[in-house]
Amino acid sequence: MKSKTFWEKNRRSEGYLLRRRSKEIAISLIRGLLLFGLCFMIISPMISRISMSLMEEKDLYDSTIVLLPRHVTLDNFRVVAKTTFLPTSMLNSLWISLLVSFCQIIATTLVAYGFARYEFPLKKFWFACVIALIVIPPQTIQSALYRTFTRFDIFGIIKLIKGAPLNLRSSIWPYVMMSLTCMGLKNGLYIYMMRQYFKGVPESLEEAAYVDGCSTLRTFFKIMLPDAMPVISSCFLFGFVWQWTDLFYTRNFLTGYKVYSQQLSTVVDRLANELASTMGASQTIDPGRQLQLISVGVLICCVPLIILYCFTQRTLVESLAMTGSKE
Amino acid sequence: MSKKDKKYREHWYSGITEAVQMYVPGNKQYHTIAARRARIGTLFILPFIIGFLAFMARPLIISMQMSLSQYTILTGEMKWNNYHNFKYAFTGDPDFNRMIVDEVGRMLINVIATLVLSFVIAVILNQKFKGRILCRIIFFLPVILSSGVLPGIETSSSSYNLIVSMGQSMEEASGVNISAALEDLLSVSGVAGEVFDVIFQMIDAIYDIVMASGIQIIVFLSGLQAISHSLYEAADVEGCSAWEAFWKITFPMVSPLLIVNCTYTIIDFFMKNDNQVIEHINEVMYGVQMDIGVASAESWIYFGIALVFIGVFTLIISRLVKFYE
């Protein structure tokens, strides 16, 4: 019935309808193929990691096995968990990431609000500094920061009191200080994003609050913050995720803590050392086995993030799309 | 309020006199509303000012100083030795030059490919079709999965190359590798080799490119969503085809975002963990050599190159692109 009407309509429109319909179908087919291919490419390493992590070692070298392991085992997880000091390192990662991203978000929100709403001398200069913060790779100042924090001092005050500058290198304080002053990982980007958002909020909202006698801070907390929650939370999420997987700051400032990302980056070497010390020097780990252990480690690292992402992806994507459009 | 405030924003340096008038009590301007607001605003961005001066500007100066001097870690002593570190980086270090050239080449290919790919994907994701949300979830997954330690960890393993080369030789033997077969075919038939080499490099690196383009897709997507629908309707009424509409409306409206994305891609690429120059610098700093002077000289060179490329790309794109206010 329906097809008949379609052909009927088609005849009346002198073939235009058919042409349009076939074009639509062709486009959606090509689009589907392209998207399927790309999506598959993104997901496939994850799938192969999962299957690899469940295999026994002999399955790795069996060329008839592609994805489904023949001998399922959870032993790999046990080995990796033991070498990366799992419960401790994961908990450390968790509280450090939470603390750091919380500090960063407080600081960057305040700064972004200041940039979006207030006029003050040298504003352009300071904003250029924010851009510089995004552009300058932290590797450039790595060695200098290292030096700053091994001999930490505020204008010589600490030296006056204690007699010598503090060595803060293995404690968490340097990083907390940097986070509280917007110098953490990619903080320039957060400032930029949130400023973009705050600029889009109509100024009359605050003016109304001022007229009714609301103080500056109260206006900020009662009127601006609740509206900005999606952006703030997505920045918080970014901060958390990037901190969770970060290696640069971890390696430089958090050497005193067992953090998961740091453990993960050296898992194979340490396992090899351990084997060498217990079984004799000749013992080494096969290449395939090494790769398997790494993928188990990566999997352990990713799973919490993926779960988190599944719950929050909507706010994340939408709020980002929102901030960008107000260029 | 805004008109009065804008007066002193002509140049960044013209703020200094105003700063004195507004921050120092006793001046005539000190009690105006504008000055009060300026002080409040400065309080808001105070954390950033402190942080920037203490943990960015000062370390930058120190590291510049370090790169120009001989630094001994144990004593913390710095001895000025002119441009020796820079000279060493270019002429003495066996790997540095080669790595820089390699990375820059890889960067150029990656940046162009990333921009094109993320733009295409953003255009596709902006259309309405079934499963769009699922596709979005998957495409933004790399934002999470390719950060920090994760991207480089498998390739940095010493055995990785061995396994990859084993896999490649297997593929070549069995003839499964399509891109290699195509490459052979094309080179036999005598089609221009150089261009295809670049394209095949892109194809081989497509996984890395897709993994690195999450943020860029988001940026383009937000730009696409900001285009008002009435533009397309007007074009459609005038008899514009979808292809023309794409080049005449979509592309020009989104192209200012090319600069943002380009800058982001370059920085992202230069700062990745699996980057061999970064690895090399780390090794010089913490490895056997322990030479912080050379390490900071090398990172300055590296940063300088990144800046030059950002500048060049921005210049080229801003020439090509029209800005719509």
Say which residues have a Cβ less than 8 Å from residue A298's Cβ, sequence separation at least 6. A49, A264, B150, B153, B154
Q: Which of residues 177 through 216 in chain A touch B, CB cutoff 8 A?
A: 177-178, 180-183, 191, 216
Residue A78 confidence (pLDDT) above 90: no
Amino acid letter for position A84: T
Terminal C-alpha separation, chain B: 23
Strand-pair partners of B80: B69
B35 strand-pairing partners: none
Rounded distance between C-alpha atoms, residue A269 and residue B197, angstroms: 37
- Residue A224's pLDDT band (boundaries 50, 70, 90)? confident
The rounded distance, in Å, linking the Cα atoms of A245 and A122 is 36
- Give the start-to-end residue ranges of the domains of chain A: 2-60, 83-325
Rounded to whole angstroms, how far apart are CA atoms A172 and A303? 26
Residue A4 has pLDDT above 90, yes or no: no
B67: Cβ–Cβ under 8 A, 6 or more apart, which residues?
A: B85, B86, B293, B296, B297, B300
The 3-class secondary structure across A40-91, one letter per residue, is HHHHHHHHHHHHHHHECHHHHCCCCCCCCCCCECCHHHHHHHHHCCHHHHHH
Compute CA A199 distance to the chain's CA centroid, rounded to the nearest angstrom. Answer: 25
CA distance B161 to A134: 33
Average the pLDDT over each of A170-184, B30-44, B61-75, B89-103 and give the range with the smallest value: B61-75
User: Residue A3 and residue A11: Cα distance in Å, rounded?
Assistant: 12
Q: For B260-298, b where at least 16 C-beta lie within 10 A, e where not — what string?
A: bbbbbbbbbbbbbbbbbbbebbbebbbeeeebbbbbbbb
Sign of the Cα torsion A27, A33, A36, A38 reads negative
CA angle at A111 for the pair A108 and A114, rounded to the nearest 5°:
150
pLDDT band at A217 (very low <50, low <70, confident <90, very high): confident
- What's the whole-number mean pLDDT along residues A214-240? 86
Q: How far apart are CA B144 and CA A243, in angstroms?
A: 11
- CB-CB neighbours of A238 under 10 Å: 24
Distance CA A323, CA B223 (A): 10
**To which H or E segment does residue B71 belong?**
strand B69-72
Tell me if A141 and B60 make a contact (CB, 8 A cut-off).
Answer: yes
Start-to-end CA distance of chain A, whole Å, equals: 51
Answer whether B140's CB lies under 8 Å from B233's CB: no
For A83-325, CATH number out of 3.40.50.300, 2.40.10.500, 1.10.3720.10, 1.10.150.20 equals 1.10.3720.10
pLDDT recorded at residue A325: 45
- What B67-71 contacts at long range (C-beta under 8 Å, 24+ apart), as own/partner pairs, is B67/B293, B67/B296, B67/B297, B67/B300, B68/B293, B68/B297, B69/B293, B70/B293, B71/B291, B71/B292, B71/B293
pLDDT tens digits, one per residue of B209-233 = 888 888 888 888 888 887 888 888 9
Residues of B in contact with A28 (CB under 8 A): 129
Q: Which is higher by pLDDT, A280 or A94?
A: A94
Percentage of chain B lying above the pLDDT 90 cut: 2
Interchain CB distance below 8 Å, B45 and A115: yes
Question: What's the angle, vertex CA B110, arms to CA B108 and CA B115, rounded to 5?
Answer: 100
Q: Which member of A43, A265, A288 has the closest CB to residue B149?
A: A265
B69: three-class secondary structure by DSSP:
strand
Burial class (CB in 10 A: 0-12, 13-18, 19+), A95: exposed
User: Rg for chain A (alpha carbons), in Å?
Assistant: 27
Q: Which whole number is the average pLDDT over A184-198?
A: 85
Domain ranges of chain B: 2-67, 94-146+212-320
* Residue A313 tokens, joined: 């992806």
Q: What is the full DSSP assignment across A218-238?
A: HHIIIIIHHHHHHHHHHHHHH
- Put simply, whether A271 touches B (Cβ < 8 Å) is no
Residues B51-60 pLDDT 10s: 998 888 888 8
Instruction: Give the position of tokens 């204008």.
Output: A155
Residues of B in contact with A242 (CB under 8 A): 147-148
Q: In the structure, what pLDDT confidence band is assigned to residue A110 with cuts at 50, 70 and 90?
A: very high
Interface of A with B in 239-258 (CB under 8 A): 241-242, 244-248
pLDDT digits (tens, 9 = 90+) for A135-182: 787 777 877 787 778 777 777 677 777 766 777 777 788 888 888 988
- Cα of A183 to nearest chain B Cα, Å: 6
A47-86 residues touching B, CB cutoff 8 A: none
A242 CA to chain B: closest CA distance, Å?
6
Burial class (CB in 10 A: 0-12, 13-18, 19+), B159: middle
Beta-bridge partner residues of A72: A55
* Lowest-confidence pick of A215-219, B37-41, B205-209: B205-209
- Phi/psi at A39 (nearest 5 deg)? -60, -40
In whole angstroms, give the CA distance from residue A141 to residue B271.
Answer: 13
Kind and range of the H or E run holding B285: helix B276-286
Structure confidence at residue B152 (pLDDT)? 63
What CATH number should be reported for the domain whose range is B94-146+212-320?
Answer: 1.10.3720.10
Say if residue A107's pLDDT is above 90: yes
Question: Which of A248-257, A308-317, B73-82, B230-239 is the least confident region?
Answer: B73-82
Cβ count within 10 A of residue B3: 6
Euclidean distance between CA atoms A20 and A42, whole angstroms:
33
Nearest chain B residue to A287, by CA: B159
Of A259, A110, A239, A88, give the one whose Cα is nearest residue A172: A259
Asked whether the ipTM of the predicted complex exceeds the cut of 0.90, the reply is: no
- Average the pLDDT over A35-60 and give the result: 83
In the structure, what pLDDT confidence band is assigned to residue B325 with cuts at 50, 70 and 90? very low
- Please state the length of chain B: 325
* Percent of chain A surpassing pLDDT 70: 91
Residue B190, SS3 per DSSP: coil
pLDDT at B1: 42
Task: For residue B299, list chain A residues with Cβ-Cβ distance below 8 A.
Answer: 137, 139-140, 142-143
Instruction: Please judge whether B285 and A322 are an interchain contact, meaning their C-beta atoms are less than 8 angstroms apart.
Output: no
A290 touches chain B (CB under 8 A): yes
Q: For residues A204 and A288, which has the higher predicted lDDT (pLDDT)?
A: A204
A72 φ, ψ (degrees, to nearest 5): -80, 135
Tell which wins on pLDDT, A323 or A290: A290
Residues of chain A with pLDDT > 90: what percent?
7
The rounded distance, in Å, linking the Cα atoms of A171 and A255 is 8
